[in-house]
């Protein structure tokens, strides 16, 4: 699996390779895609665990359902904020790339 990933990175860079700056742009595109994928994966796992814990807590004590639901929505907003921060960093790397000097 690691070999395919490294091959993907190498071919992505070679496909866009024209000069020195386009190589940096190619790596920025690959990094933005991988970073967003990992952030979405982590966010989805975190949201799944949060929802499962809230459902389990409500099943154990139905009287606390409203309080648990409120806490869950706050936690989901914080998890989603981290994914949005990753999107902002990816957009900066793509459109206002600080490495192009």
CATH number of domain containing 52 = 1.20.20.10
Inside any domain, residue 10: no
User: Whole-model pTM?
Assistant: 0.71
Inside any domain, residue 1: no
- Alpha-carbon distance 39 to 31, whole Å? 12
Inside any domain, residue 49: yes
- Per-residue pLDDT tens listing for the chain (101 residues): 777 777 777 666 666 655 566 777 778 888 888 989 999 999 999 999 999 999 999 999 999 999 999 999 999 999 999 999 999 988 888 888 777 76
Would you state the pLDDT for residue 94? Answer: 84
Give, for 61, the enclosing helix (H) or strand (E). Answer: none
Q: Helix %, strand %, coil % for the chain, to 5?
A: 90, 0, 10
Would you state the pLDDT for residue 38? Answer: 93
Inside any domain, residue 84: yes
Q: Retrieve residue 63's tokens.
A: 């009287």
Number of structural domains (the chain) is 1
Would you state the pLDDT for residue 30? Answer: 84
Inside any domain, residue 11: no
Domain enclosing residue 31, as ranges: 22-100
């Amino acid at each position: 699996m690691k070999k395919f990933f490294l091959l993907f990175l190498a071919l992505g860079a070679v496909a866009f390779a024209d000069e020195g700056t386009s190589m940096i742009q190619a790596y920025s595109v690959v990094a933005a895609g991988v970073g967003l994928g990992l952030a979405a994966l982590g966010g989805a796992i975190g949201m799944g665990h949060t929802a499962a814990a809230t459902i389990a807590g409500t099943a154990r004590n139905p009287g606390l359902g409203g309080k648990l639901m409120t806490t869950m929505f706050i936690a989901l907003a914080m998890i989603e904020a981290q994914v949005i921060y990753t999107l902002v960093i990816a957009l900066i790397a793509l459109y206002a790339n600080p490495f192009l000097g």
